[in-house]
């Protein structure tokens, strides 16, 4: 069985499979309704299968049921001629992941939106698949702030995530270059901060510009739709509202949020280039009240009970430049009034305020590993991006950790050393490199390692101007990452990459059926290249830190 991610155990007896056709019945026990709907809407449409309701003992039918002897996301899929197909899950999510495996077993045509051969009768090969994920948090970050991804693109990525058994969408909604979520009490965030007049094309040192205005945002109903669509697929959506750095777009809309005693914030516009802006939020009560208002609406749009990790809210907290604070009388006064030592402690105080504010509302703060500096409340979690060190420090301090080290799973990094790679950024991270990534840092005790919730791949979109570029950077590496996050693989050096490549041969046909503009194994197609657009390649292996 050419399955990705690889399951824990497969039994492939000889004998006929289970034919599915117009008379195939679908029986769904209580608690499996989401998978029942998904099967009819997705497999039914792709393979011309009505999957009408029927009794559990229907010959060659499909049965969905819960089994409390299994872990919540575990499943057991059994296919036997005469007895049909049965998917047992430890919880509703387990049944859904079993249905994703069923789809793969039915071949690439099952990944289309309409039947190619309506009269053909697909068949599920006989066998038993027993499976469960290694990590609870199996995430993907989509940066929709640098280049906006319309709602339909986000929904499409939720489907791609579900097909790879990923279950957390980290939605990076705000940055210097754009604000992407409607906040009704602050209309200028969408009137002004959601678009920029032009865009740097390529790395920030590039001389090239796209002079066309760029922008877009999600209405509140768009967000509700995204969250509901994700929940149907057992995916949590974790919003990120970046503070106190990466905030020039917000300051351009509401100048009082910036350090007005240092710069003329009224003259600022939404940033049109890349890098890290020096225009950061002022550490004032005005700023705190403003963002409390933002987060009040965010909490309503992202309900805590939507999916497993829905209580989390990401606040950024990374790459906050301090030059304006060092010059600001207001900031110096705040440092003195609070009895703080310096600007680094001031940032810790700023993050700590929202840590307490969110905790009081039953939510959990998560931020990039810089938020460790100065201490965190016990319930806060850390996304370790600057290598392994932040994750190690957080786990040893008793904080939950999501491992997403830049050098290994930032999928904006280039995929090969050749000149044909479009806008080459960062280190070379091949498909095999991603497959050999190990999320749990070496040196943690067993107790400390329990704090590693899981792992996440990040798609930063400075040089990804449209969905085809996002696809190219994501795939096929996201398939390798999904196997790292789901499957109980051997140590990195001992992993059977040749077997993964063999299974990818079948998976490329699935990606083709889904319309994914992935990077082919032989290199980019002519239209995937960006000749003459400068990147920022870094030579040599990434630092192991």
Catalytic residues: 175, 246, 319
Check: CB of residue 394 under 8 Å from CB of residue 401: yes
Give me the helices (H) in 302-423, please.
323-327, 329-338, 343-359, 389-396, 406-409
Instruction: Give the angle 540-456-231 at the CA atoms, nearest 5°.
Output: 155
Check: CB of residue 73 under 8 Å from CB of residue 7: no
274: helix, coil or strand? coil
Q: Is 383 left (phi over 0), alpha (psi -120 to 50) or beta?
A: beta
Distance between CA atoms of residues 210 and 198, nearest Å:
6
Q: Is the peptide bond before 380 cis (omega within 30 degrees of 0)?
A: no
Q: Which helix (H) or strand (E) is 489 found in, with range?
A: none
89: helix, coil or strand? strand
Nearest to 73 by CA among 154, 3, 168, 142: 168
503: helix, coil or strand? helix
Check: CB of residue 54 under 8 Å from CB of residue 116: no
Maximal CA-CA distance, the chain = 79
Check: CB of residue 435 under 8 Å from CB of residue 500: yes
Q: Which helix (H) or strand (E) is 98 found in, with range?
A: helix 92-105
Q: How many residues does the chain have?
A: 545
209: helix, coil or strand? strand
Q: How far is CA 282 from CA 85, 194, 291, in A?
A: 60, 21, 12
């Amino acid at each position: 069985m050419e399955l990705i991610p690889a399951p824990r155990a497969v039994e492939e007896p000889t004998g006929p499979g289970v034919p599915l056709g117009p008379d195939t019945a679908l029986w769904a026990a209580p608690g499996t309704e989401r998978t029942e709907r998904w099967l009819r809407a997705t497999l039914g449409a792709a393979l011309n299968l009505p999957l009408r309701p029927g009794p559990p003992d229907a010959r060659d039918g499909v049965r969905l049921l819960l089994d409390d002897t299994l872990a919540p996301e575990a499943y057991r899929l059994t296919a036997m001629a005469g007895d049909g197909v049965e998917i047992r899950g430890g919880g509703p999510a387990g049944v859904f992941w079993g249905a994703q495996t069923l789809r793969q077993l039915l071949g690439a045509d099952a990944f289309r939106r309409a039947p190619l051969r309506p009269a053909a009768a697909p068949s599920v090969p006989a066998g038993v698949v027993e499976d469960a994920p290694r990590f609870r948090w199996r995430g993907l970050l989509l940066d929709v702030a640098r280049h906006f991804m319309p709602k339909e693109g986000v929904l499409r990525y939720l489907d791609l995530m579900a097909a790879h058994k990923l279950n957390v969408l980290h939605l990076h909604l705000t940055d210097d270059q754009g604000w992407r979520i409607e906040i009704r009490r602050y209309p200028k965030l969408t009137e002004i901060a959601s678009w920029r007049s032009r865009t740097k094309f390529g790395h920030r040192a590039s001389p090239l510009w796209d002079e066309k205005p760029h922008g877009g945002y999600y209405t509140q109903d768009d967000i509700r739709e995204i969250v509901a669509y994700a929940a149907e697929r057992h995916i949590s959506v974790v919003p990120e509202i970046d503070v106190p750095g990466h905030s020039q777009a917000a300051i351009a809309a509401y100048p009082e949020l910036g350090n007005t005693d240092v710069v003329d914030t009224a003259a600022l516009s939404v940033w049109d280039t890349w890098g890290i802006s020096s225009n950061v939020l002022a550490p004032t009560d005005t700023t705190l009240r403003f963002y409390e208002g933002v987060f009040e609406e965010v909490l309503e749009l992202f309900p805590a009970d939507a999916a497993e990790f829905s209580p989390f809210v990401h606040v950024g907290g990374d790459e906050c430049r301090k030059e304006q604070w060092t010059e600001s009388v207001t900031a110096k006064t705040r440092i003195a009034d609070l009895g703080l030592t310096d600007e680094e402690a001031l940032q810790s105080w700023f993050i700590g305020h929202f840590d307490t504010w969110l905790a009081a509302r039953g939510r959990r703060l998560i931020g990039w590993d810089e938020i460790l500096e100065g201490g965190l409340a016990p319930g806060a979690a850390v996304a370790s991006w600057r290598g392994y060190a932040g994750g190690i420090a957080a786990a040893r301090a008793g904080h939950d950790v999501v491992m997403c080290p830049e050098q290994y799973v930032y999928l904006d990094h280039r995929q090969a050393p050749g000149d044909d790679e479009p806008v080459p950024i960062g280190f070379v991270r091949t498909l095999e490199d991603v497959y050999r990534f190990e999320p749990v840092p070496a040196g943690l005790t067993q107790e400390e390692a329990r704090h590693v919730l899981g792992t996440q791949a990040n798609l930063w979109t400075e040089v990804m101007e449209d969905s085809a570029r996002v696809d190219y950077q994501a795939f096929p590496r996201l398939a390798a990452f999904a196997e790292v996050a789901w499957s109980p693989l051997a140590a990195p050096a001992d992993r059977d990459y040749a077997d993964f490549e063999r299974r990818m041969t079948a998976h490329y046909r699935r990606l083709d059926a889904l319309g994914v503009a992935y990077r082919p194994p032989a290199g980019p197609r002519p239209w995937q290249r960006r000749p003459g657009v400068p990147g920022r390649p870094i030579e040599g292996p990434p630092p192991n830190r």
